[in-house]
Amino acid sequence: MEKTKILLVSDGGVTPDLMQKLFELEQYGAEVTMVKDMDVHSIDLITDRMHLLECEGIQAAPTFRPLLDVCQDKDIICVHITSINREVIDACRNLKVVACMRGGIENVDLPALTERGIKCINSPWRSAHAVADFTVGMMIAESKNIARSHKAIFEGKWRKVYTNQTYIHDMRTRTAGVIGCGHIGSRVIERLVPFGCRILVYDPFKSLEEVKRLGYDAVTLEELLRESDFVTLHLRYSEKTDKFFGSKEFAQMKPTAYFINIARAGIVDTDALLHALETKSIGGAAIDVFDVEPLPSDSPFLKLDNVTLTAHLAGTSSDTMRNSVEIAFDDLKNYLQGKPMLNVCN
């Protein structure tokens, strides 16, 4: 029987060492080879590529030219951030599956794959644990002034009084509003439960009944905004979620509530967020994602005393990349054994 030919394309994130796991697919009838995409050989180049893809689309990202020389006879191609664009797809004669080992698939031309009947799978929860950990950390850092105290000490100050002095509370007495209960939102909820806080959940892509069936306290967006002391966003950016959260939503929040965005900047109207913080119509914010990254030195965010800012770090974890490979491995093993793949995108 002819073997299924699998090509692995490693980079500076999903490294050749991590990719070694996928060579175990050979015991299921595969022939596995690997190349390294030297155009994205480091984490900073990968971060730049991700930002380019999110802002300008797959057409803005270059083709890894050596891939065209080795992809023609492959049945499966596994990539992390390397582009699987129409040029690459057209160069393949036998392609049946593309494994994109990311939560998103911005580096894959999904319509072109679908036209050819080629399946695309991804690793949807690869960074979910890391982002959920980070989210709760940001809630605590902002409400307990951890980052501000750290900064003050390095400046030679022993600061004891902060803007939110009158509304610093124990987590167990607070209400957390989680918007989006998918891979990340559900894990944020899991982490909040032991704190003893009340948790309200709204998901724009699920009915209240669906959210309730998941075991959550399902509410409308209006109720969540009105009652929550923390509002945290966990939605994927798309045309449907562009500027999902704006002036109307900030106006409905408590003046002592904290807004957390670890998802994508485009989901939030940045001008509305800045206005809410500058006028103190909300209590504070913790933000990991921005319209322009790195954050410019003249950014209005840098003039505020009621924000905690981080440099798009939420998904950063050695485990994230390992998870990517393990999720892809399980799905491709299913494929080779004639079983359904679990993370099909088209």
Catalytically active residues are 264, 293, 312
What whole-number distance in Å separates Cα of residue 336 and Cα of residue 340?
10
First to last CA, the chain: 28
CA torsion sign for 210, 199, 135, 13 is: negative
CB count, 10 Å around CB of 96?
15
Nearest Cα to Cα of residue 234 among 327, 131, 319, 143: 131
Per the listing, tokens 């509003």 go with 177
Nearest Cα to Cα of residue 136 among 181, 193, 182: 193
What whole-number distance in Å separates Cα of residue 305 and Cα of residue 308?
9
What whole-number distance in Å separates Cα of residue 267 and Cα of residue 273?
11
Nearest Cα to Cα of residue 171 among 159, 188, 183: 188
Helix (H/G/I), strand (E/B), else coil: 321: helix
Give strand pairing partners of 177. Answer: 200, 231
Burial of residue 281, with CB atoms counted within 10 A of its CB: 0-12 exposed, 13-18 middle, 19 or more buried: middle
| Alpha-helix residue ranges (DSSP H) falling in 228-287 | 247-252, 270-278
